[in-house]
A and B are shown apart, each in its own frame.
Chain A
Amino acid sequence: MSGLQERLEAYLSRTWRQPVTVADLSRIPGGASRETYRFVARTGEGSRPLILRRDPPGSLIETDRSLEYLALESFHDRVPAPRPVAMEAEGAELERPFFIMERIEGGTVASPFTVMPYGAHARTVGEAFFGILGKIAGAEPADLPLARDGVPAPETCWSMAVDHWAGVIEADEQHPQPIVRAAIRALRRKPPPPPKAVRVVHGDYRGGNFLHDPNGRILAVLDWEMVHLGDPLEDLAWAIDPLWNPFDATTVAAMIPRDEALAIWSQASGLTVDERALSWWSLFAAVKGQAIWTSAAKEYRDGGFKEPILAVSGWYTARRHDEILAAALLRLEDLQ
């Protein structure tokens, strides 16, 4: 058994207890943290279009694969999201951890690094985008499969988040980064107020991580690998980070104006936005980004410079987040 197609056929035939053939296996571009493939599984009963998400030899984001699966189990019937099908944390026939989910047809993923990524449908997309994020934030986590390991105390959300990503920078940094280190100290000096409610945080909710149809309807929220429980403002701050909107200062996420986005989120979540807390989480978002890009640069080097998506992440986005961080640090001190 050598090729991925043969391995998939062997796995599915064993677990589905019937002969399965795999057709139209094709890797999908993007996705710095996981290899993503589309394929069709054929059995005597018919054909099933599916998506395979498989850990690469080196992964940009070290996450528990089962969390992404649990997130899809928790949310596929609440918001547009793929239904999970199977997961193998040990890799089985595919040798590396993976999971399989249903494929949602008819949509495209727009890159946030293009001009007007949603064209004439920016408003439609934006209303849906912030409404869905509000629904995720509004879900009571205690009853979800995702909460199997418990719910953190509200007052610990900020420190857990900062400690985690500061640790990533400490571990993966290859050149001293004074700007992000100053931002980490600033975050620790003035913690945010605790959230009114601990909720599910998607972890990477942004342009480029959802499918939308030609009319601007969002078909699926993707890439749940950084999902966790925490302060829901973490997701909101990440979604409106300036990194994801390089060409239009009048909107957030290249969709709608900021105040409208926050109002839609509040209405859908039932939560109010504390601007002081959001300001803290916005600085945190840029720190988290810089940590991810720091890991990307390390993975790019460790992997022999073969993955250009890691080069873009570790280079352009890292430089851009240094600009965003530096500007945010000045704003904190009321400086220009």
Chain B
Amino acid sequence: MTPSLPDILVGNFMCMADPGPPEQQGEFMAGKVGLVALLSLLAAQEAERGVAARVEENVLIRATLDEAAADYGLNADWPATDALTLGALDSVNATLRKALIGLHEAVEAREDWPRHHAILRLYAKMADLRRLDLPPLPAR
């Protein structure tokens, strides 16, 4: 998994808290500040959209698994959470994603192409939900 929002924000503090040796000042420190600034901007996007993205992704994966459960003999006792925190949603998401990987492997083995295509469309939606938008930084 990519780093979580708390990881990023803690990291922005940690990397600036230690000034480092003399040879890592100047140009290197300026580059580090630029990266921290970029990460802060991306973190704002994640703070705004991250919870909603995870809630929707979990709903979509669960629906895909439920729809295939009978055909593929899945034990449909997927975890759920009412907690709207990134950590709680990611924990449920990990279980759902593992089940989705297993289902997709079985779908491919059975050459169930309509369901294969539906899962590929789900992947595109999942990737779009978690999209981060790079700011149009000018070249230096």
Contacts and interface: CB of A to CB of B under 8 A. Distances in A.
Given A176-B98, A301-B7, A307 B139 contact: no
A214 to B, nearest CB: 12
A306 B3 contact: no
B30 interface: yes
B123 A179 contact: yes
B3 A29 contact: no
Interface residues of A, number: 60
B35 A312 contact: yes
Contact of A312 (B1, B27, B38): B38
Contacts of A26: 23, 26-28
A333 B116 CA distance: 10
Interface string A8-35: 0000000000000000011111100000
A327 B124 contact: yes
Given A5-B23, A116-B139, A305 B14 contact: yes
Interface string B16-50: 00100111101110111011101100100000000
A26 B116 CA distance: 52
Interface in A98-136: 108, 110-111, 113-119
Interface string A309-320: 101101110111
Nearest to B96: A176
Interface of B: 1-3, 7-8, 10-12, 14-15, 18, 21-24, 26-28, 30-32, 34-36, 38-39, 42, 90, 93-94, 97-98, 100-101, 104-105, 108, 116-117, 119-121, 123-124, 126-128, 130-132, 134, 136-140
Interface of A: 3-5, 25-30, 37, 108, 110-111, 113-119, 173-179, 181-182, 185, 189, 246-247, 293, 297, 300-301, 304-309, 311-312, 314-316, 318-320, 322-323, 325-327, 329-330, 333, 335
Given A118-B139, A311-B8, 6 more contacts: A108-B140, A247-B136, A319-B132, A320-B132, A325-B123, A326-B126
27 contacts: A4-B23, A29-B27, A29-B30, A111-B139, A113-B134, A115-B138, A119-B139, A175-B94, A178-B97, A179-B127, A182-B104, A247-B136, A297-B2, A300-B11, A301-B7, A305-B15, A308-B32, A311-B3, A312-B35, A315-B3, A320-B132, A322-B130, A326-B120, A326-B124, A330-B120, A333-B120, A335-B120
User: Which A-B residue pairs are the 6 nearest by beta carbons?
Assistant: A175-B1, A29-B31, A305-B11, A176-B97, A308-B35, A27-B28
